[in-house]
Structure 1
Amino acid sequence: MRFVTLTVLLLSAPSPFTLANNNSAISTLNLDETITVSGLSSGAYMAGQYHQAFASQVKGVAMLAGGPVYCAQNSLGLALAHCFNKDTSAPDLAAIEQYLTAARETDKLAPLSAQADDKVWILNGTEDKTVQPKLGALLYQQYQRWAKPENIVFVDDKAFAHTFPTDRNDLGNRSQSESPYLAGCNYDAAGALLNHLIGDIKPKAKTTTGELVEINQHQLSTAATTTLAKSGYLYIPQRCAAGEPCQLHVSFHGCKQNADNVGDAYTTGTGLNNYADTNNIVILYPQTQASNINPFNPNACWDWWGYTGADYTTTNGPQLQAVHQLVQALLHGPKQ
């Protein structure tokens, strides 16, 4: 297993998040070259897109409350018609597969061989009124074509609304889909997805001991300046900060779930950080920004329908490029 080192730089602006030595190197990370990704809602769509684009570096993907990759086919109209809450229509998987195949043949997506052995974890709640559960079934159908069946887990029997399910008892109940879109469901999704993607994970810490640090996405990624917020967040366990070998996991928030909308609720509340502490996992929480002008994205969603351009789901997509550059900066160090 090959590891590389990185120095992470902080923003100098005041922040509600834990910061240490602003404008200075806060941690030297020793990160595995392969990563895992996950996301909720628009973040689930983004996680699937990232996996298809950069599968050569991704060994596992988890998608919660999402639908098929390229569901919207570069059309807001199709997104509204087929990829949300309508149970009388469905996306055209044959046309989608034709597009994805052509993109692979022109190197705009990773080859299917790159994801053949990857782990895939999908969850769609039966009470989700935002993204119909059947869309998760179609996503599962896609991945049955792309990955080994024994490597895929599809959780489709839980009575959850459109939310990130946790085993916490201080959140809304599982039938509610409201800000910050985390719920107490007596179900530990963070542990379930990490255990499948990584395997044999240790029990989570009762309380976190690492640091949630603010990073300048615009400095670390030139592609981030037009499509991502200036600030992103990185959770660094103590052992990772001390230079022990660690893995990187990227967690994509959902619509209206970025820090501007929910503060640190998502970056601290899913349970991922608790597992990060005991399993040497650094968590990257990239952040979108809301926009009421072009590109029109008032709810700070990840782009899964084409608001950043027609290539949004390929390696040429602005947001995919931005997050990929962030990942490379974490693995190999920021460009000077």
Structure 2
Amino acid sequence: MTMPLPCRAALPAAGALLAGLLLAACTKAPAAALPKFAVDADRVMVAGLSSGAYMATQAHLALSDRIHGAALVAGGPYGCAGGKLEAALSTCMKGEPAIDVAALAARAAERAAKGEIAPLSNLAGDPVYVLHGRRDATVAEPVARAGAAFYERLRADHADLATLKVAWDGGRDFPHLLPTAQGTGGCESAAPYIGNCGFDAAGAIFNALYGAAPRPAPATAAGSLQAFDQRVFAPAGKATQLADQGRLYVPKACADGARCGVLVALHGCQQNVEAVGEAFVRDAGFNRWADAYDVIVLYPQTHASLAPLNPKACWDWWGYTGADYDTRDGAQVAWLANLIDGLRR
């Protein structure tokens, strides 16, 4: 899309947040409706980086009737922040004070019993993959370990979750980003928070969630990347604080009518399209593997705001959309449920 001249002239003089908001306003145009596909409901998974990892575990717990596995990169356990920003910035990023995994697991069971999240029994057999880099200075290792321990505690506490599969991968040398094995970017934690660290995280995520690849991934993605209108999926009476447009990657086989899985890929803070362009949706590595596995990739998009205070365009994992943010009634969780349902033919 060509940006109008007044917008292009104004952007260089704007601060980072203002520039992001201005860019969003300047590029608004009607996006296409989300197309529908033959979706294999048993192969709908979620993955996320940083705030996207926290959102991924929220979606997995709240929507386990729709989502059947989760990959968390540099994120912690469900319910960690407890609706408090100060807890999010301390306990849930630095691990100080330590995270009480047993209490979080008990709280999740209470919420499931009340119907605030889906029944925990839905998690039986689900794969969970937790990835953390040893050089991550943003999210401490004990926080990520607690993300894996949370699921392990659920498995220990509930006999019907004996088949819940939890994999911890914390021995790799990369900082706070999504590591790749392609591209020219250095392995440093800086925008767009994707770096060639000699490890294909996207491939590892696909393998953990979907099993061995039925065929090798192509060198470059061969499907189509599309924009779609996110606004139509907003739950009634809820302000989602999301961008107007999202992105969708469709392998050719899926476009031609094959029955395909779905991966919801959630970017981290300052990694949305408004902040880094299409770097995450094009270069994270998911699209190549989507071709190999016949999986559609949804790339939902947040946006930065001053009210509510979310200047880095993070997903809501501490309550800026409301106290029910990490339940089925939460604005972004309910929106995501509508999005997944809307993709199905």
TM-score, normalised via structure 1 length? 0.87
2:182 is matched with 168
Residues 208 and 290 of structure 1: is their aligned pair in 2 closer, same or farther, counting only changes over 3 Å?
same
**1:111-150 matches, cutoff 5 A:** 111-147=119-155, 148=162
Identity %: 39
Q: Do structure 1's residue 297 and structure 2's residue 306 form an aligned pair?
A: no
Larger displacement relative to structure 2 (145-154 or 186-195): 145-154
1:253 is matched with 267
2:217 is matched with 204
**1:1-40 matches, cutoff 5 A:** 29-34=37-42, 35-40=44-49
Asked whether the 8 Å contact 1:28–1:242 carries over to 2, the reply is no
Q: Do structure 1's residue 63 and structure 2's residue 72 form an aligned pair?
A: yes
1:122 is paired with a residue whose SS is strand
Amino acid of the residue matched to residue 32 of structure 1?
A: D
1:67 is displaced (CA, Å) by 0.9
Q: Do structure 1's residue 80 and structure 2's residue 80 form an aligned pair?
A: no
1:158 is displaced (CA, Å) by 0.8
Q: Identify which of 189, 195, 200 aligns with 1:177.
A: 189
Amino acid of the residue matched to residue 207 of structure 1?
A: T
Structure in which a larger fraction of residues adopt strand: 1
Give CA-to-partner distance per residue, 1:58-101, whole Å, 9 cap, x none. 22110000011111111011112211135x42223343233222
Q: Do structure 1's residue 274 and structure 2's residue 283 form an aligned pair?
A: no
Asked whether the 8 Å contact 1:53–1:108 carries over to 2, the reply is yes
Q: Identify which of 32, 54, 64 aligns with 1:45.
A: 54
2:298 is matched with 284
Q: Distance in 1 between matches of 2:33 and 2:326?
A: 33
1:132 is displaced (CA, Å) by 0.2
Asked whether the 8 Å contact 1:44–1:66 carries over to 2, the reply is yes
Residues 24 and 95 of structure 1: is their aligned pair in 2 closer, same or farther, counting only changes over 3 Å?
closer
Runs of 4+ with >3 A deviation: 22-28, 147-150, 220-226
Amino acid of the residue matched to residue 287 of structure 1?
A: Q
Amino acid of the residue matched to residue 47 of structure 2?
A: S
Larger displacement relative to structure 2 (27-36 or 121-130): 27-36
Amino acid of the residue matched to residue 114 of structure 1?
A: N
Give CA-to-partner distance per residue, 1:235-282, whole Å, 9 cap, x none. 011111111111111000000000000110000111110011122110
Q: Identify which of 188, 191, 213 aligns with 2:200.
A: 188
Asked whether the 8 Å contact 2:241–2:302 carries over to 1, the reply is yes
2:56 is paired with a residue whose SS is helix
Q: Distance in 1 between matches of 2:193 and 2:31?
A: 32
Larger displacement relative to structure 2 (242-251 or 90-99): 90-99
Asked whether the 8 Å contact 2:239–2:321 carries over to 1, the reply is no
1:28 is displaced (CA, Å) by 5.0
Amino acid of the residue matched to residue 206 of structure 1?
A: A
- Structure 1 spans left out of the alignment, 5+ residues: 1-10, 16-21
Amino acid of the residue matched to residue 219 of structure 1?
A: V
Give CA-to-partner distance per residue, 1:174-212, whole Å, 9 cap, x none. xx1110000111111111111111112132111111111
2:107 is matched with 99
Give CA-to-partner distance per residue, 1:16-43, whole Å, 9 cap, x none. xxxxxx8777955211123011000000
Q: Distance in 2 between matches of 1:217 and 1:26?
A: 8
Residues 58 and 28 of structure 1: is their aligned pair in 2 closer, same or farther, counting only changes over 3 Å?
closer
Asked whether the 8 Å contact 1:211–1:238 carries over to 2, the reply is yes
1:160 is paired with a residue whose SS is coil
Q: Do structure 1's residue 316 and structure 2's residue 325 form an aligned pair?
A: no
2:38 is paired with a residue whose SS is strand
Instruction: State the aligned residue count.
Output: 312
Amino acid of the residue matched to residue 216 of structure 1?
A: D
Asked whether the 8 Å contact 2:36–2:342 carries over to 1, the reply is no
- Structure 2 spans left out of the alignment, 5+ residues: 5-22, 24-29, 156-161
Asked whether the 8 Å contact 1:27–1:242 carries over to 2, the reply is no
Residues 204 and 225 of structure 1: is their aligned pair in 2 closer, same or farther, counting only changes over 3 Å?
farther
Give CA-to-partner distance per residue, 1:102-144, whole Å, 9 cap, x none. 2111111112210021011000111111000111111111111
1:315 is paired with a residue whose SS is coil
2:230 is matched with 217
